[in-house]
Amino acid sequence: MVFGFHFRDDGTGGHRVLPVMCGNCGTDRHLIIRSVTDLPDQPPEVTLVSYTCSRCGTFDEHPAQVGDLSQVLARPEQTGDVLIIGNNYMHCGQPMKMAGSELRKLSVPLSTEDGAQDALGVYLSTRVLRCVCGFQMELPE
């Protein structure tokens, strides 16, 4: 066990990470990869992957072989969502680019009684990322 994750026996006395597959559905056909992150102290062919199953809604995160992960990422249906790889955000299969920053005010009334005009406010600095298709998102800095 490494980083709290389980490895399975590969049949040769070695260990292999779990497959990229929904534990409920028993297939990788409905997976949406959410993020891919390096794992320190692991070989380069092992990475941390998080994904959801669009069929049953299950979320999972565990180390994965890059080869197993690449089979899922190569499918055309993987291009519609935002994918986080390390510190990069991808949409439409391309890295999103910095398009500026914003200062947002979040506020909530101090009271739920009618006529309450005072509000508690917090300012949040965000960075705006944009895809070539026009999709954009803001992330806290």
Own/partner contacts of 62-68, CB < 8 Å, gap of 24 or more, are 62/5, 62/6, 62/17, 62/18, 63/2, 63/3, 63/5, 63/7, 63/17, 63/18, 63/39, 64/17, 64/18, 64/19, 64/20, 65/16, 65/17, 68/19, 68/20
Residue ranges per domain, the chain?
Answer: 7-93, 97-140
What's residue 19's pLDDT? Answer: 86
What's residue 1's pLDDT? Answer: 37
Averaged pLDDT for residues 24-45: 87
CA 34 → CA 1, 13, 52, 81, 116, distances in Å? 23, 32, 7, 8, 41
DSSP state of 66: H
Instruction: Please enumerate in sequence order all residues whose Cβ is within 8 A of that of 67, keeping only pairs 6 or more positions apart, or say none.
Output: 45
What's residue 141's pLDDT? Answer: 82
Q: What is the pTM of this model?
A: 0.61
Max mean pLDDT among 15-19, 42-46, 63-67, 81-85 falls in 63-67
- Could you report the per-residue pLDDT of 107-124, keeping only the tens digit for each? 777 776 766 566 778 888
